Structure 1
Amino acid sequence: MRRATLRTTHGSADAAERVAAALRPDNTDEMTTRVDGDAVVTTVERESTGGLQSTVDDYVVNLRVAAQLAERHDESTKP
């Protein structure tokens, strides 16, 4: 089994929660996502290195979109 853990920070626990919530629906059975303070931590397990790479690549694309949306939300709610 191959495993990768990705940890990204998002400035606040609220932003991390929003990012994690946006990512979870796309998780496969081999993925877990959790929030640790202002960080989103996702672990991916796959049988092959190629499968792991493909899954991580897809995850990073989804993460980028989720983080951009969370950032826009934060900007739109500033006083």
Structure 2
Amino acid sequence: MTGVDPAADECARTAVVETTHADAAAARTVAAALAPDNTADIETTSEGTTVRTRITRETTGGFLASVDDYLVNLAVADDVAATGRETDDTAVATDATEPNDADGIRDGRDERASARRDTADADNDTHDT
């Protein structure tokens, strides 16, 4: 049998999904995380704070499966990028507020140990008053 299958639909299904992220670095991170999914049918790029993915499939079932997989992967990539930003933000805030030890290394052990001793002393006070 040769030629076009009359039962096959000749129209490709295409979607362009654009998402905006916190900053250009986050957009690049999300696009890089999604890059392994790029095929002849899926292409992801980033520009500024925008991630743009074009998905084209010949069948409706394949199209829906690809879009669904992409959206799940996008959500995970965005969560990971956001978690990384929060961790970086926390580290920056901690660096700015904790004192340095004599050797110049940020370390809050002395303050934490002192607070534990104070609490322990109050709980175990055996002095008669």
Q: Could you say whether these structures have the same fold, taking a TM-score greater than 0.5 normalized by the shorter chain as the test?
A: yes
What is the TM-score normalised by the length of structure 2? 0.59
Alignment deviations for residues 21-56 of structure 1 (CA, whole Å, 9 cap, x no partner): 000112232111000210110000100122111100
Q: Secondary structure at the match of 1:35?
A: strand
Higher strand share: 1
Instruction: Give 1 or 2 for the bigger CA radius of gyration.
Output: 2
Aligned counterpart in structure 2 of residue 10 of structure 1, from 21, 35, 50: 21
Give percent identity, aligned residues only.
Answer: 47
Q: Secondary structure at the match of 1:77?
A: helix
Q: How does 1:47-66 map to 2 (within 5 A)?
A: 47-66=58-77
Q: In structure 1, what is the Cα distance between the partners aligned to 2:39 and 2:73?
A: 13
Root mean square deviation of aligned Cα? 0.8
Query: Which blocks of at least 5 consecutive residues in structure 1 are unaligned?
Result: none
- Larger relative CO (CA 8 A, sep 6+): 1 or 2? 1
What is the TM-score normalised by the length of structure 1? 0.94
Q: In structure 2, what is the Cα distance between the partners aligned to 1:16 and 1:5?
A: 16
Q: In structure 2, what is the Cα distance between the partners aligned to 1:4 and 1:49?
A: 12
Q: In structure 2, what is the Cα distance between the partners aligned to 1:50 and 1:42?
A: 19
Extract structure 1 runs of 4+ deviating beyond 4 A. Answer: none
Query: Which blocks of at least 5 consecutive residues in structure 2 are unaligned?
Result: 1-11, 93-129
Aligned residue-pair number? 79
Instruction: Give the deviation of 1:14 after TM superposition.
Output: 0.3
